[in-house]
Amino acid sequence: MNLTELGWDSAWDELLPAVSEVEYGLGRVSAEHKHLYRVFTEQGETLAQVSGRYRYDAQSRSEFPVIGDWVLITSSSDDDRAIIRGILPRRNKFSRRAAGENEEEQVLVAKIDAVFVVSSLNRDFNLRRMERYLVLAWESGGNPVIVLNKADLCEDVYSKVAEISSIAPGVPVHAISCETGQGVDQLTPYFGTGKTVALLGSSGVGKSTQLNCLLGEAVKRTGTVRSQDGRGRHTTTHRQMHLLPQGGLVIDTPGLRELGLWGSDEGISSTFDDIDWYSVRCRFADCRHQGEPGCAVKEALDSGELDWARYRSYLKLQKEMAYISRRENLFEALEEKAKWKQIHKEIKRIKKR
Ligand code: GDP
Ligand code: ZN
């Protein structure tokens, strides 16, 4: 493996001058166990743990490495585990709010290029649920791609594709079957060398099957990876980053219930940009679309141009989001400060070693 295969690119180089003077190895976290990590490095996959110093310095859960993070490591002399000394700042991520008074952010996966929003084409097909997943996907900062699996179980693939396209303008839609292999090669372009793809979708839609299919033979090895601590086989963790034999990386992410919205408006407005399109055409700039004269949203709803169910879904998600941001505003200013403090601290910490 070289770093490019693991997703390193020139944007990361810019973050590196601060550390290049010192002798660290670079690695990318591929799995998280309780206090142990697995890390892809140029030498292969290794077990690693954070240094005592790191643990001491870390102020919140989100400062610890997660799957997808780039980390600075050194090898330790007394056993085969590498030591994680620091992480590079995250470029994008999936988060969930961890329970607690401050609604601490818990980052689950870092740095994704594309997010496959996976649904199945049989009875689980649900536009409203897809909208929620799309909001999440946009929030993560990766590019959403809709993957409709189980095409073999569906009689009218075309109309389903049309339906989903109508709620996700501009998002690529692919109908595939992991069972028959139909359409699977449409996904190849997303898996270039060093590209990281996250799979997002409810359980049962076929994410594991797809992963197996992508990994081919390699998946069988995953379960039996020899750990370097000599304890034999690893138990595969729930979430894990896989390196594909043909290049590219895939992460299976937890589903909706576990992820939850994080409260950035961006996800909502990207998902529902058709509704934005109407609302800027309302006569009043502050139109609330509740019966004001000249309301373009109401007109679109009346004419059927805009689907009521979709509009209700939008209102519901917006309400949720407003609730989240109200709570968030309280912490926002503080958080922003802390974030920059953290970035400076990270760079200092890295320089120090
Ligand atoms: P996950 O929970 O999203 O990881 O879903 P799984 O990969 O475990 O798949 C759930 C079930 O759907 C399994 O029984 C699979 O064999 C089945 N399945 C997955 N993909 C397809 C497909 O394309 N066609 C059909 N007919 N079944 C599929
Ligand atoms: Zn209006």
What the chain holds in terms of domains, given with CATH numbers, is: 10-87 (2.40.50.140), 93-252 (3.40.50.300), 266-329 (1.10.40.50)
Distance from residue 206's CA to the centre of ligand 1 (Å): 4
Helix, strand, coil shares of the chain, percent, nearest 5, are 40, 20, 40
Whether this prediction's pTM lies above 0.85 is answered by: no
Whole-angstrom distance, CA of residue 194 vs CA of residue 4: 6
- With the C-alpha atoms ordered 328, 334, 340, 346, is the resulting torsion angle positive or negative? negative
Question: Residues 184, 147: contact at Cβ < 8 Å?
Answer: no
The three-class DSSP label of residue 44 is strand
Q: Give the number of other CB atoms < 10 A from CB of residue 321.
A: 20
Which ligand is nearest to the Cα of residue 293, counting in written order?
2
Binned at pLDDT 50, 70 and 90, residue 193 comes out as confident
Distance 122 CA to ligand 1 centre (A): 11
pLDDT of residue 326: 62
- Cβ atoms of 19 and 351 closer than 8 Å: yes
Distance 205 CA to ligand 1 centre (A): 6
How high is the pLDDT of residue 235?
37
Which uninterrupted H or E stretch holds 83? strand 82-87
Q: Which ligand 1 atom sits closest to the C-alpha of 212?
A: 7
The pLDDT-based confidence of 153 (bands split at 50, 70, 90) is very high
Total Cβ atoms within 10 A of residue 182: 14
Quick one: pLDDT band at residue 231, thresholds 50, 70, 90?
Answer: very low
Query: Amino acid identity of 331?
Result: F
The residues that bridge with 97 in the sheet, in sequence order, are: 105
- 250 beta partners: 197, 242
Judge contact between 257 and 202, C-beta under 8 A: no
Mutate to test the pocket of ligand 1, among 187, 202, 209 (most ligand atoms within 8 A of CB): 209
Is 216 a residue whose pLDDT tops 70?
yes
Mean pLDDT of 176-202: 90
d(CA 289, CA 249): 44
- Give, for ligand 1, the residue of 178, 210, 219, 239 to mutate: max count of ligand atoms closer than 8 Å to Cβ: 178
> In this structure, what are the phi and psi dihedrals at residue 41, rounded to the nearest 5 degrees?
-130, 175
Q: What is the pLDDT of residue 225?
A: 36
C-alpha of residue 39 to centroid of ligand 2, in Å: 51
DSSP per residue, 168-183: STT--EEE--TTT-TT
- More confidently predicted of 204 and 22: 204
Ligand nearest to the CA of 292: 2
CA distance 225 to 216: 16
Partners of residue 198 on adjacent β-strands: 115, 251
Ligand nearest the Cα of residue 291 is 2
Which atom, in ligand 1's list, is nearest to the CA of 153?
Answer: 26
Are the CB atoms for 55 and 22 separated by under 8 Å? no
Distance 204 CA to ligand 1 centre (A): 6
Which atom of ligand 1 lies at the shortest distance from residue 210's CA? 7
| CB-based contacts of 88, cutoff 8 Å, min separation 6 | 12, 15, 69, 70, 71, 72, 346
Q: Pocket residues for ligand 1 (CB within 6 Å)?
A: 149-150, 152-153, 177-179, 201, 203-209
User: For position 119, what pLDDT does the model report?
Assistant: 93
Whole-angstrom CA distances from 292 to 147, 278, 287, 295, 297 are 39, 14, 7, 6, 10
pLDDT of residue 108: 65
Distance 181 CA to ligand 1 centre (A): 12
**Ligand 1 atom with least separation from CA of 118:** 3
Answer whether 238's CB lies under 8 Å from 33's CB: no
